[in-house]
Amino acid sequence: MPYYETPLVERRELEHHTLLSLHAPELANALRPGQVVMVRCAPHASDDPLLRRALFVAGATSATGQIELLVEPTERGLPWLASQPLGTKLDLYGPVGQGFRLNADTRNLLLAGTGPAVPALLFAARDAVARGLAVMLLISAESDHALPPPFLLPPEVEYQTSNTGSASLFHLIAGKTEAPASKISGKRKAARKPPEPIPTLGHSPLAWADQIFLALTEPLITEAAQTVKTGRLRWPREFAQAALAGPLPCGLGTCYACPVTTHDGQRLRCKDGPVFDLRLLG
């Protein structure tokens, strides 16, 4: 596993998150949406917290050699990370795990999620737009300020959010009209030749999508699988993939603290995931 000392080159303090840009050309080349980096979140002279923090990468650009981390100060160590001055060399390793697998014939990509894996969707959205895909992003959170701000996304992305928690996510995906209060934060602009128009609320984003990439926590797997099953008659492998958030103490496959029960037996989130085919989970 490659280890890096990456300088912090930009920091943007948002309402609830901090967006960090790190100069890490080798990593920027290697990272795929859905993968994680393990960041040491303590000053040099301190051992607290001892273990690294696992962060889903929010963006990586080979051209600039930069990677982006969207830090939400939810865990010990993360407030320290978010407050570092420019120039700080952050000690991290990655890429950890398997990212999303984009099919060659996918034209319409639906991204949907909630929780700590959401940055993976921002990365996937930017990557997909760069490849000329039509992208729709649905995110739910407990409150407005916990939602990633729309300016982090390319303007081509249709971005819909809900601030009423995870239950509303599945309404958004299924395009149910009785969805709990939701709003459109992003602005739909013409995507590059989408084969079909992007659906508005009331139509099913799920029916429109060639693939759906989800950001979930484990308790949401069953409902996610149910939603996809109900919305699609045919549900081939790789159609629905989920980046699963949860503890990753080592990120190396050594501590066995990240087991995920799949239909193929027990798997490790840090090696076999964090992105899994939803059919294996639900």
Partner 1 sequence: MADLTVEVCGLRFRNPVLPAAGPNVRDGRMLTEAAHGGAGGLVAKTISVDAAPVPMPHMAEVRGSMLNTELWSEMPPERWLSYEYAVARRAADEAGIPLILSLGYSGEEIAQLAPLVRPWADAVELSTHYLGEDATPMIQAIAAAKAALDVPVFVKMSPLGREMRAAARAAQDAGADAIVATNSLGPAFGLDIETGYPLLGGSDGYGWLSGPAIKPLSVRCVYDIAQAVDLPIIGVGGVNRGEDAVEFLMAGASLVQVCTAAIIRGSTVYGKIASQLGDWLDQHGYPSPHAIRGLAIKKTVP
- Phi and psi at residue 73, to the nearest 5°: -75, 65
**CB 276: neighbour CB atoms within 10 A?**
25
What residue type is assigned to position 120 of the chain? A
CA distances from 100 to 42, 236, 242, 275, 276 (A): 30, 15, 8, 6, 8
What would the two tokens of residue 108 be?
């319409």
Give contact residues for partner 1 (rule: CB under 8 A): 1, 3, 40, 47-52, 91, 93, 249-250, 252, 254-259, 266
Nearer to ligand FES, 207 or 252 (CB): 252
Say which entry of partner 1, ligand FES, none residue 93 contacts (CB below 5 to 8 A, set by partner kind).
partner 1
Give contact residues for ligand FES (rule: CB under 6 A): 248-258, 268-270
Burial 27-53 (b: 16+ CB within 10 A, else e): bbeebbbbbbbbbbbbeeeeeeeebbb
Say which entry of ligand FES, partner 1, none residue 248 contacts (CB below 5 to 8 A, set by partner kind).
ligand FES
Edge-to-edge strand ranges of the sheet holding 158-162: 182-184, 158-162, 134-140, 108-113, 211-217, 240-245, 275-277
CB of 72 to ligand FES, least distance (A): 20
CB of 36 to ligand FES, least distance (A): 10
CB of 72 to partner 1, least distance (A): 19
Q: What are the beta bridge partners of residue 8?
A: 22
Say which entry of partner 1, ligand FES, none residue 91 contacts (CB below 5 to 8 A, set by partner kind).
partner 1
Nearer to ligand FES, 171 or 269 (CB): 269
Nearer to partner 1, 40 or 107 (CB): 40
In the chain, the N- to C-terminal Cα span, in Å, equals 30
Q: What are the beta bridge partners of residue 236?
A: none
Say which entry of partner 1, ligand FES, none residue 126 contacts (CB below 5 to 8 A, set by partner kind).
none
Say which entry of partner 1, ligand FES, none residue 9 contacts (CB below 5 to 8 A, set by partner kind).
none
CA distances from 64 to 10, 88, 144, 207, 225 (A): 13, 18, 31, 36, 38
CB of 246 to partner 1, least distance (A): 11
Say which entry of ligand FES, partner 1, none residue 212 contacts (CB below 5 to 8 A, set by partner kind).
none
CB of 253 to partner 1, least distance (A): 9
CB of 259 to partner 1, least distance (A): 5
